[in-house]
């Protein structure tokens, strides 16, 4: 498992081509398109490498075109503003001469201020829950070879689903919610930007599933096409991505082939550390 996390850190370690231009690679996996969390995490790395003060507090991104996993991704950083308290960056990712992804990120120096947050849901501890592989083991034998490989392949993020899930990862009670414990499956460097980028990567792994729950659908259903359209995150409090965090997800609305999903990410001690909102394409056939 440590090797899978090492691979994630490797793809987040962008190659600097020249000032404000970076290049990212994709993992050697059988994918039809680049995973959205990967390009979001890499774009945030590119933005953060041009910022000397403050930590990321928000990002807003649009997935414009499917990414090609077989060629590098070029990231161009635009230094929008360097202020006394806030720094703003825009990053555009390119492949085949066209923009595939656009991100705006804002960085803020630490300040004192008011504080409040919602309560974290009461859920079982992650140690009480089966691993992803254990959860999916009953369906390996009836799955396609491609899906078997996906289930058993080492993953950089340890996921422990709380709600009952089946072969297509939807909740038995059909409510548009999903809750899952996550953490990087290994030890990360102390750099806060790396922890933010790993959570950005993980935040796209299951959020849109909450919109498909009431309809018995999943990413690999034969009768569905699903893709992230836009993604927004707000980083509220310091955290470590290699410690357990609870991703509390819900979908308040779906209509016209688009679904809205939002999530609260809590540290294990109950602090709200990140909020996420995403709209995704969900076409059925």
Is 228 designated active site? yes
3-state secondary structure of 172: coil
Higher pLDDT, 174 or 57: 57
| Alpha-carbon span 155 to 46, nearest angstrom | 23
Catalytic site residue 23? no
Whole-angstrom Cα Rg for the chain: 18
Q: Mark whether 278 is an active-site residue.
A: yes
User: Residues 6 or more apart from 188 whose CB is under 8 A from it?
Assistant: 5, 9, 194, 195, 198, 240, 241, 242
- Say whether pLDDT at 275 is over 70: yes
* Alpha carbon 45 to chain centroid, angstroms: 14
Is the pLDDT assigned to residue 72 strictly greater than 60? yes
Of 95, 106, 171, 228, the catalytic one is 228
Is residue 101 within 8 Å of residue 41, measured between CB atoms?
Answer: no
Residue pair 83/36 in contact by the 8 Å Cβ criterion:
no
Kindly indicate the confidence band of residue 264, based on its pLDDT and cuts at 50, 70 and 90: very high
**Among the options 204, 249, 251, 267, which is catalytic?**
204
Q: How far apart are CA 183 and CA 4, in angstroms?
A: 13
What is the rounded CA–CA span in Å between residue 96 and residue 3?
30
Which residue is catalytic, options 95, 106, 203, 278? 278
Residue 180: both structure tokens together: 């899952």
**Domain annotation for the chain: domains and CATH numbers:** 2-110+130-284 (2.40.160.210)
pLDDT band at 171 (very low <50, low <70, confident <90, very high): very low
7: phi > 0 → left, psi -120 to 50 → alpha, else beta; which?
alpha
């Amino acid at each position: 498992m440590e090797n899978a996390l090492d691979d994630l850190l490797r793809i987040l370690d962008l190659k600097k081509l020249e000032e404000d231009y970076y290049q990212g690679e994709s993992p050697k996996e059988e994918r039809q398109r680049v995973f959205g969390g990967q390009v979001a995490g890499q774009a945030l790395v590119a933005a953060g490498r041009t910022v000397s003060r403050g930590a990321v507090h928000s990002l807003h991104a649009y997935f414009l075109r499917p990414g090609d996993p077989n060629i590098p991704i070029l990231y161009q950083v635009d230094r929008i503003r360097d202020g006394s308290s806030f720094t703003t960056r825009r990053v555009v990712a390119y492949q085949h001469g066209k923009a595939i992804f656009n991100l705006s990120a804002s960085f803020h120096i630490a300040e004192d201020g008011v504080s409040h947050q919602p309560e974290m849901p009461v859920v079982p501890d992650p140690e009480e829950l089966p691993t992803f592989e254990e959860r999916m083991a009953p369906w390996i034998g009836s799955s396609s070879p491609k899906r078997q490989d996906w289930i058993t392949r080492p993953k950089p993020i340890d996921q422990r689903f709380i709600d009952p899930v089946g072969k297509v990862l939807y909740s038995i009670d059909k409510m548009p919610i999903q809750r899952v414990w996550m953490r990087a499956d290994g030890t990360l460097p102390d750099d806060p930007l790396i922890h933010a980028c790993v959570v950005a990567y993980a935040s796209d792994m299951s959020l849109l599933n909450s919109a498909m729950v009431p309809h018995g659908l999943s990413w690999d259903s034969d009768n569905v096409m699903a893709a992230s359209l836009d993604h927004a995150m707000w980083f509220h409090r310091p955290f470590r991505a290699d410690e357990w965090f609870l991703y509390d997800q819900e979908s308040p609305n779906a209509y016209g082939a688009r679904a809205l999903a939002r999530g609260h990410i809590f540290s294990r001690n109950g602090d709200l550390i990140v909020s996420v909102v995403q709209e995704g394409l969900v076409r059925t056939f």
